[in-house]
Amino acid sequence: MKKNKKYVDSGQLHFHRVYCWMDYTFLDFITGGTELEFTVAIDFTKSNLPSGNMASLHHVDDESASQYEIAIQAIAEICQYYNNSQLFYAYGFGARLPGDNRVNFHFPLNLTTNSPECIGMDGLLNAYRDALNRIELAGPTEFGPTLRHAARHAASLPPDGSRYSVLLIITDGVINDMNRAKEEIVKASSLPLSIIIVGVGYDSFGEMKVLDSDRQMLQVNGKYAKRDIVQFVQLREFLPPHRILTDDDLIEAKYRLAKEVLQEVPAQLTSYMKSKGIFPKQICPVSCDDDRKLSVIERGYP
């Protein structure tokens, strides 16, 4: 197009520095060496009822798994493959420990003060079952101490994106420190952390859904979260109503629960990496077996 001789430039735009960002995927980071660290926190408040009670959400027998065990198995079975050591940091809250009459809101699940680690899903389940026989259910339900500890751990991770933390909280009802929970989540939203909350039992969980801020960023006291880092699901949505679970029911429930619970983790991880300007390290070749394991969270099925 020919310009008029009287045309005068309206101005010129000069770029001093240009950044290009490629939208890397969850698998780009995982195959590049990023490992996920998993922390599990289990609700031992008395609203669950004592484990010896058939109606208890913690009731365990030889023929059926408790709702807590179903949630643990569904998620831990997949997550253990995302860390070479297959370690879980495991805690409980809302109980009285042996020899102590105080209610403890954050304690190692294996009741060993200096070592909260459990190896693999089996180690996690064994620690859970052993704790049930040694602690006293109490209350109230408070998330604050657990969230604060998870945030401190996430803040201590290397700044190069080589590690990313995921916290799984399994609980049966309304929490008593909602405002503090919001504050801790908002503060943690800039850290390499995702929070998964699984609701067991038959509570409405109305307030809990507020923490899963899919439609708008969580805010408290005028401060907004930097990212959406919380995913909340109810276990009962994946269980057949009003009948004893068959083996096929259990397999199907765990499959569907894991798919729903873990579907937001990839986007949360990549959004964190992008916010910090972190790129995947050199992508390593992946074997067929490793590719099957790595695809679980990315594609949403086992």
Which residues neighbour 40 within 8 Å (Cβ) at sequence distance 6 or greater? 72, 76, 88, 89, 90, 91, 109, 124, 167, 168, 170
pLDDT at 16: 82
Confirm if 270 and 25 have CB atoms less than 8 A apart.
yes
Give the predicted TM-score (pTM) of the model.
0.87
Q: Rounded distance, CA 127 to CA 201, Å?
A: 22
Local confidence pLDDT in tens for the 302 residues of the chain: 556 667 777 778 888 887 666 789 999 999 999 999 999 999 999 999 999 898 999 998 877 788 999 999 999 988 888 888 899 999 999 999 999 999 999 999 999 877 899 999 999 999 999 999 999 999 999 999 999 999 999 999 999 999 999 999 999 988 999 999 999 999 999 999 999 999 999 887 888 888 987 778 999 999 999 999 999 999 988 887 766 778 888 889 889 998 998 899 999 999 999 999 999 987 555 444 454 444 445 544 33
Q: Rounded distance, CA 297 to CA 229, Å?
A: 16
Tokens (6 digits) for 289: 């077996």
Domains in the chain, CATH or no CATH each: 32-299 (3.40.50.410)
Q: Rounded distance, CA 30 to CA 281, Å?
A: 9
Closest CA to 30 of 298, 256, 212: 298
> DSSP state, 243?
S
Whose structure tokens read 């990549």? 270
pLDDT at 104: 97
Confirm if 187 and 221 have CB atoms less than 8 A apart.
no
Measured in whole angstroms, how far is the alpha carbon of residue 2 from the centre of its chain? 61
